[in-house]
Amino acid sequence: MDVIRFGTDGWRGQIARDYTFANVRRCAQGFATWLKRRPDQGRGQVVIGYDRRFQSDAFAAGAAEVLAGNGYRVLLTDRPTPTPIISFGIADTGSLGGINITASHNPPADNGFKVRDQTGGAVPPGQLGKIEACIPAMDSRAHVQSRDLDKALADGSVRYFDPGTAYSEQVAKLVDLAPLRAADLTVQVDAMWGNGAGWLPRFLDGGRIKVSEIHGEHNPLFPDMHRPEPIPPNVDAGLAAARAARADCTLILDGDADRCGFGDEQGRFIDQLRVFGLLAYYLLEVRGERGPIVKTLSTTSMLDRLGEHYGVPVHETGVGFKYVAPAMLSAEALIGGEESGGYAFRNHVPERDGILANLCLLDLMVRTDRRPSELIEDLFAITGTHHYSRRDLKLADDAMKQAAVVALDRVNVDNLALGGRRVTALDRTDGYKFKLEDGGWVLIRFSGTEPLIRVYTEISDAAATDSVLDDGVALTGV
């Protein structure tokens, strides 16, 4: 491939087909050139990390060679490292930015190239475009500057480092771990074969609490799931283990540990929108903190109700942390998040952190002495009942995508109803968000990371979600 495009969160591709060493090096050169052209960046230090996917360590080494060849000092993680820890390492070491070799929740055959700025957060959309423009063409490989890794290690321009200790100290400042360790609880962890394996047991070890972990070994095929995305059916094996262990909750991490999944005391999945509501409730009600909330347009309107109840503003952005991170920094937000299960917190890096989010959920249970299902009832007492569902439609090619775009652009909302609910407005900020008369909504959006159309809904009536989604899917013509 010649042209490389960055989607919602960097570039992803299929290993050996388009995700090759040559293309990773091109992306690394683009990032290095972008840094050079920024007046405040100079020739300082860059962090590079990677996940447990096939050859991720080798791809990361290739990126390190390119950054070193461009005159940057490189801190290369000495092992597969969770995305939030890599991001924290960027900010903690005062680095100019970072590269993370990971495809997060994508299928096993994929890998990815994430870029981060000096805050550890996602690079804003305008700057992502500038990085793309700096990527040399395939016939310009001479423009990729590189330095042999062994030589770079010998002269110190690349050195291995472990940001985990500093991250652990940071987490201990944000959550009091002692009461969690002392709690009389049984906790099931599903690491989804990813970088987060071992981290939650590590934080909780040493007390009365009982913690067991499933899918903690290194296996880039991700058995028991289609992909390491923390939603059903991928979480079914972890929830079954929780039921067998009679666990009080299930804490779930995705493939690079930046996303959070959660199961209740009966081994039932709690969707990501309700988790976002619980985390905001935890910070506002239980911890008594105040500050703005940042959410994407694909996530829950429960946050609007919580904002009204506690007197805090709620800001809505496009989908992706490339929108959320800048908005959080600008608003000095208390929490920011998105529908995919990624949540970021104040006084931390503006990046999704599935490890910290899971610890906050456990802290919510301990502080209130309430089970997850009871906490949902407490949340609904403020926000009203909300039910969420999503469907993913596979796009075979660009022609199919363009046909869907044409079909959606032609939709007339006058007298339009979805699942028997009248459409009151259409928001085109990022995709097609149809607002419904009962306060619910339907969002139709093209994925920024995969060839998919995602159709989402959140309404008050669980029995109607299928009919609403059926009508939403019909609008796409797929």
Note the pLDDT of residue 39.
Answer: 74
Query: 372-383 and 354-368 are packed helices; what angle lies between their axes, rounded to 10 degrees?
Result: 90
Contacts of 232 (CB under 8 A, 6+ apart): 269
DSSP sequence for 256-317: TS-SEEEE-TTS-EE-HHHHHHHHHHIIIIIS-----EEEETTS-THHHHHHHHHT--EEEE
Q: Could you tell me which of 46, 50, 86 has the C-alpha nearest to residue 349?
A: 86
**pLDDT confidence of residue 142:** 63
Cβ-in-10-Å burial (0-12, 13-18, 19+) of 394 comes to exposed
Beta bridge partner(s), residue 15: 19
Residues 240-244: what's their mean pLDDT? 98
Instruction: Enter the tokens of residue 39.
Output: 């007046």
Share of the chain above pLDDT 90, in %: 91
Question: What is d(CA 230, CA 101) in angstroms, rounded to the nearest whole number?
Answer: 20
Question: How far is 376 from 310, CA to CA, in rounded Å?
Answer: 18
| pLDDT tens digits, 75-125 | 999 999 999 999 999 999 999 999 999 999 999 999 999 999 999 999 988
Burial classification of residue 374, based on how many CB atoms lie within 10 Å of its CB (0-12 exposed, 13-18 middle, 19 or more buried): middle
Q: How far apart (Å, rounded) are the C-alpha atoms in residues 374 and 396?
A: 43
Q: Which two tokens stand for residue 408?
A: 């959606």
pLDDT tens-digit map of 39-60: 765 679 999 999 999 999 999 9
Amino acid 139: pLDDT: 74
Q: What is the pLDDT of residue 437?
A: 93
Burial-class residue 41 by CB neighbours within 10 Å (0-12, 13-18, 19+): middle
Among residues 255, 258, 462, which one has the least CA distance to residue 376? 462
Per-residue pLDDT tens digits for 384-433: 999 999 999 999 999 999 999 999 999 999 999 999 999 999 999 999 99
Neighbours of 45 (CB within 10 A): 17
Predicted local confidence at residue 253, as pLDDT: 98
Name the pLDDT band for 10 (thresholds 50, 70, 90): confident
Angle between helices 21-37 and 125-134 (to 10 degrees): 120
pLDDT of residue 313: 98
Q: Which of 218, 252, 258 is nearest to 235 (CA)?
A: 252
The amino acid that residue 166 corresponds to is A
Q: Give the per-residue pLDDT at 41.
A: 59
DSSP 8-class letter at 136: P
CB 300 within 8 Å of CB 388: yes
Tokens encoding 176: 């009091």
Q: Which DSSP state fits 428?
A: -
Q: What does the pLDDT read at residue 141?
A: 57
- State the pTM of this model: 0.93
The kind and range of the H/E element at 321 are helix 321-331
The pLDDT, as a whole number, for residue 320 is 87
Mean pLDDT across the chain: 95
Answer yes or no: are the C-beta atoms of 386 and 273 closer than 8 Å.
Answer: yes
* Ranges assigned E (strand) in 157-265: 158-161, 186-190, 210-214, 249-253, 260-263
181-237 pLDDT, tens per residue? 999 999 999 999 999 999 999 999 999 999 999 999 999 999 999 999 999 999 999
Backbone angles phi, psi at 154, to 5 degrees: -65, -40
Q: Are 33 and 115 in contact (CB under 8 A)?
A: no
